Structure 1
């Protein structure tokens, strides 16, 4: 569906804004990228949830809704774990390469592990050494965030293309059978969609087909029928 693909593209644009982050970026860049990303993700989640419920059988709507919610929660946790691991790997790589000289072994290990460890270590170092450590840690953290944002943007664009290919023939429940009642044809509403089932008729009667497709029965000429006044049977002639 185009709505799902469009939401994924919008979310990718939000992560594209986050790829412009560096150690000197202000709050405006973070807020802008996060708002755009959240708008796209919200559009995708709302549309896919409605699509899942609409295409599921009515007697399984509850279980399908629970499965969809579970998949959403698991996907969010899994994505945070993967992207966080990518950002952490980039941070540690940069810190191991650019770590200032002269740091105690324990302080160097703490600074390489996390940004919080680097900030705490810088407080116990001389002013100049601590400032160099903080600058290196912030640059490494911003680099890791940019790499994670680029990775996410690429995945979102890929999923946008996949959604266009896989969901282009998706229809909502009830649309595939022409909008008719279950078990009935879309044209006449008769069982199995048969426009004119044969009916039994008694002797002396013949069926007349009307334009609407139904059959009316009228007496044959010369056959006895009851009078409208309730009298004895009389011989009548059918109307032409």
Structure 2
């Protein structure tokens, strides 16, 4: 059987030592960006007290990074195709290092918000450039799959060790030290890039279209903002209007790309069946996993009453399972085919989510953690293979554009999952509560119920049972979604395996 990751008859040359050392540099970038996001949550109380940040300012300190990152991914991915991926990576490394120093020494909440925005834009140059360079360095499909799996594994590793690194830094230094962590890594990237990383740009591309850049930002930023606000406060008019406006600008963006000779986003990428199918499967898988992680984290903290630290420790096995599956997926795919790996992984994920349908309102920590381990390993298998399929499906000159699509879809998947699954869980929670409550504020959320029910243990018991029902419901829908995706992956990508 030919596999999705087997090179065709005209096999590409294998990568050598230089390419694998270069991969270590790019993986360090992924590791750092992941750590940079996860340590902020630990530093937030410290910096908020020091800078006098209000509640809304704290939210913007956290959110502005992801807004800018998501908004500029498409632009920066295509820009790398035009001016050179290594060049853009080095520009991003300088910008990220400078912005990190400015963030560390911020003297006001407003300054920190502005520097976090700069970090998001710089991060948008680093992520697609890294993936695109891997596509250029590893022409053999099997090696490329392994390299991309290792890159994503390092990204997930950063999410695991980030809180630990942050805890050590905050124990011995001031809050700004969490931002300075990136500076030496960016210096190493700058030094190593010229000798270890190849330059590649497409000479036949035209100039960047400013109108397309504006339309892409007008599409992505309002939608991401609206989804985050829906997850935070429900379907209020302002976030709904933002989502609708973003979708309207998105239609204009697509229309303009079809008319341009040199579009910002090459829509012909989506004509590749394996590219579109894999992207869609990973997007929906991300929706399911982000929503599930949200619900289970809330369960551990509110229903099981675990501390944030204890909750974080219980989530470590989930991240380790994901890292291991990401690393193993390409090797397994070379033996049995990408379709089988993706279908088996999603089926394994569905089994883990089924465990969550059985979680009780008392003493369910073991089931939650076991379910998360299976679901995370399950979704990591198609991720480890799927990212390679997407990158190898795109021609080398469009690698930056393909990488930006992958990363942007990931941002959308998380935002949609938190908003949609969170809203579903909240709706079930409210529907399960009795008509008359001693404290009506408990109807808003399980967090509000815990706060309001300190002296009302009966109310707390009812609220925890209602929230658990919401978790069970979300898990059941998520498990069914994974099974449907497994079938789709097997049917569609088996043809890709045969043709590869």
Same structural fold, with TM-score higher than 0.5 when normalized by the shorter chain: yes
| Residue among 368, 371, 377 paired with 1:33 | 371
Provide the residue aligned with 1:24 in structure 2: 362
Any idea what the Cα deviations from partners look like across 1:142-193, whole Å, max 9, x if unmatched? Answer: 0000000001000110111111121121159xx76xxxxxxxxxxxxxxxxx
The equivalent of 2:384 in structure 1 is: 46
The corresponding residue for 1:198 is none
**Is this contact kept in 2: 1:14–1:34, CA < 8 A?**
yes
What residue is the counterpart of 1:61 in the other structure?
A: 399
Q: 1:237 aligns to what?
A: none
3-state SS of 1:24 partner: coil
Q: Which runs of 5+ in 1 are unaligned?
A: 177-240
- Partner of 2:443 in structure 1? 112
Q: Aligned partners of 1:58, 1:18: CA distance in 2, in Å?
A: 42
User: What is the aligned counterpart of 2:425 among 87, 90, 93?
Assistant: 87
Structure 1 residue 122 and structure 2 residue 453: aligned?
yes
In structure 1, the residue matched to 2:484 is 158
Give the number of equivalent residue pairs: 162
Inter-partner Cα distance in structure 1 for 2:447 and 2:420: 20
Q: CA RMSD in A?
A: 1.7
Residue aligning to 1:11: 349
Unaligned runs of 5+ in 2: 1-338
Would you say 1:169 and 2:500 are equivalent positions?
Answer: no
Q: Please give the per-residue CA displacement for 1:107-164, whole angstroms capped at 9, x wherever unaligned.
A: 21x11111111111112x4xxxx11101100000000000000010001101111111
Q: Which has the higher strand share?
A: 1
State whether residues 55 and 171 of structure 1, in contact with CA within 8 Å, keep that contact through their aligned partners in structure 2. no
What does the per-residue CA deviation read over 1:39-95, in whole Å, with 9 as the maximum and x for residues that have no partner? 011111111100111121111112101111111221122122111111100001111
TM-score (norm 2): 0.31
- Are the aligned partners of 1:96 and 1:112 in contact in 2 as well (CA < 8 Å)? no
Larger radius of gyration: 1
SS of residue matched to 1:170: helix
The aligned residue for residue 460 of structure 2 is: 134
The one of the two structures with greater contact order (alpha-carbon pairs below 8 A, sep at least 6) is 2
Give per-residue Cα distances to partners, 1:174-229, cap 9 Å, x unaligned. x76xxxxxxxxxxxxxxxxxxxxxxxxxxxxxxxxxxxxxxxxxxxxxxxxxxxxx
For the Cα contact (< 8 Å) 1:15–1:34, is it kept in 2?
yes
4+ residue runs over 6 A deviation: none
The whole-number CA distance in structure 2 between the counterparts of 1:157 and 1:76 is: 20
* Alpha-carbon separation, structure 2, partners of 1:35 and 1:158: 20
